Amino acid sequence: MKGSLSGRLLGGLFILLILFFGVTVFALDSLFHRLSDQAMHDRLEGQLVALIAASDPDPQGNVHPDAPLAEPRFETPGSGLYGLIQDDEGKVIWRSRSAVALPVISQPAAPVGTALKGQRRFERTLSGGAEWEKVHLTVAWELAAGSHRQLTFTVGEDLQPYHAQLRLFRVQLLGWFGALTLLLLIAVSVLLRTALQPLRRLESEIGAIEQGERSSLSEGYPRELAGVSKNLNALLGIERNRAERYRQTLGNLAHELKTPLAIMRTQPGHDAQLVERMDQIVAHQLRRARISAGSTLGQAPVELGSIAVELIATLDKVYASKHLQAHVRGAALVGADRGDVLELLGNLLDNAYKWARARVSIEMSVQPDPTPGKSRVRVIIEDDGPGWGQQNPSALFGRGVRADESRPGHGLGLAIVRDLVEAFDGEIHAGSTKSGGARIELRLPAVKDAAQR
């Protein structure tokens, strides 16, 4: 699974916060909605009781408030609060001034006769383009002559302010929880950055070991990583010691075999071809024993340009009679043993000098690698000699090809060159220049210099 550890944690936390705050917002919204409904019902009931308390019958037997009600909105048209008194036939015998222009009062939501005496009934209706919440109470009003009259008192309130209050609450609720989610994510991000700093330090130091800038991991890691760093240092030490012992053992074995081979040559009737083949195998193993590219962890990077200049200065003396012109262009760092690089470039340049007529060139550059975050050193060595002749250079330098090392070819130490390139995890390709000379291209893992890091 791709992605950083901190990114996964933040993504998981974000999902959990969305779920948690979503449930919390829903619960708070439901609670606020229920409490708002209850508060509105209590308010309407209070207005209804006040209306009943202020009402008295007149000489004609009609019941209505004797004086203006305490709530001023009953006296203000369009205030959103109205009062209504109806008889048992649904006829309006009184209505508040605020309800004069409202059609909602002329048509009750249900026949009055269906309302139960002494029982409050709430209903929500749409009328006049507005939504209303109403409460009805039907009572048996006792008149002065001892008779009774069934009356229904109604108080209604416009729900527009109620819905506006709900919308405002929801917007504020979502805003506050959104801001809280963002703040929590920022806080956790900072916390993760601090908590994961040792991991980034470990990654950096391992990269430095790969580049040859360090030989081991430093100390001072948290308890959870101290064991990891200690074990990695132990593994690095074991690997270096193992590689060194391997080279020494292989070298000792080859040296031990050379003495019996020398004795066999002095014996009459020996198989000269078999002895020569065994001697070639021993020589090859001696060369392989010198290769240390398989254990470059902790080694300082090598600058190819300076090594090329050094080798050319030596070869100019060896081939002084040819009066060759040699050019070095570019520079690059590789993580390898200096002796291995000297042997690799030395073999290739010696071959170029041997066959060149007047010119030898070596060019180095750093190019991107298909693997993200990696780069490769490209080294091109050319001469103006006769080239490869009838031989197939691609077959000679193909990865995994094992040619007979004793067989004369183009003058290259092909076996040691191939072994070194493979040990470097590199590639080698051979071709021809436009003039027909030999052209060899190497691609080796690069090391960034200080200016590139």
Q: What is the mean pLDDT of residues 127-152?
A: 82
Decide if 270 is inside a domain.
yes
Do 12 and 108 share a domain, yes or no? yes
Statement to judge: residues 39 and 171 lie in one domain: yes
Are 80 and 190 part of one and the same domain? yes
162 falls within a domain: yes
Domain shared by 349 and 376, yes or no = yes
pTM here is: 0.51
Q: What is the pLDDT of residue 174?
A: 92
Which CATH number fits the domain that encloses residue 409?
Answer: 3.30.565.10
C-alpha span between 97 and 111 (Å, rounded): 23
Reported confidence tier of residue 391, pLDDT bands at 50, 70, 90? low
Give dist(CA 255, CA 114) in Å, integer: 118
Q: Are residues 142 and 170 in the same domain?
A: yes
Do 134 and 260 share a structural domain? no
Mean pLDDT of 102-108: 52
CA dist 419 → 290, 307, 339, 443 (Å) = 11, 20, 14, 14
Comparing 98-112, 128-142, 200-214, 340-354, the range with the smallest average pLDDT is 98-112
CB 313 within 8 A of CB 362: no
- Dmax (CA) of the chain: 159
Mean pLDDT of 136-142: 87
Residue 203 belongs to a domain: no
pLDDT at 263 over 80: no
Other beta carbons within 10 Å of 382: 23
Domain match, 349 and 323 both? yes
Which of 266, 290, 314 is where one domain is finished? 290
Q: Where is average pLDDT lowest: 172-186, 263-277, 334-348, 395-409?
A: 395-409
Average pLDDT over residues 208-222: 78
**Bridge partners (DSSP) listed for residue 135:** 122, 155
Q: Are residues 346 and 394 in the same domain?
A: yes
Give the model's pLDDT for residue 405. 42
Q: Which residue has the higher pLDDT, 280 or 121?
A: 121
| Euclidean distance between CA atoms 85 and 94, whole angstroms | 5
**Domain for residue 209, yes or no?**
no
The answer to whether 439 touches 430, Cβ cutoff 8 Å, is yes
State yes or no: pLDDT of 127 exceeds 60: yes
Note down the domain range covering 420: 302-447
Residue 354 belongs to a domain = yes
Instruction: Please state, in angstroms and rounded to a whole number, the distance separating the CA atoms of residues 33 and 25.
Output: 12
Q: How many domains does one find in the chain?
A: 3
Domain closes at, from 175, 195, 215? 195
Residue 297 forms part of a structural domain: no
Q: What is the predicted pLDDT for the residue at 19?
A: 92
Say if residue 406's pLDDT is above 70: no
pLDDT band at 382 (very low <50, low <70, confident <90, very high): very high
Residue 296 has pLDDT above 70, yes or no: no
What does the pLDDT read at residue 219? Answer: 84
Mean per-residue pLDDT, 426-433: 85
User: Between residues 99 and 44, which one has the greater pLDDT?
Assistant: 44
The reply to whether 276 and 330 lie within a common domain is no
Look at residues 290, 314, 329 and tell me which one is the last residue of a structural domain.
Answer: 290
The mean per-residue pLDDT over the stretch 220-244 comes to 81
pLDDT for the residue 115 = 44
User: Is residue 344 located within the same domain as residue 265?
Assistant: no
**Average pLDDT rounded to a whole number, residues 205-234:** 80
As a dihedral over the C-alpha atoms of residue 348, residue 351, residue 357, residue 358, rounded to 10 degrees, the angle is: 40
Mean pLDDT across the stretch 339-353? 86
In sequence order, which residues have a C-beta less than 8 Å from that of residue 153 and are 6 or more positions away? 48, 51, 52, 55, 83, 84, 85, 136, 137, 138, 139
Phi, psi of 383 (to 5 degrees): -140, 165
User: Is 201 inside a domain boundary?
Assistant: no
Specify whether 267 is located in the same domain as 346. Answer: no
Mean pLDDT of the chain: 79
What are phi and psi for residue 127, nearest 5 degrees?
-160, 140
SS3 427: strand
Does residue 151 belong to any structural domain of this protein? yes
* Statement to judge: residues 191 and 241 lie in one domain: no
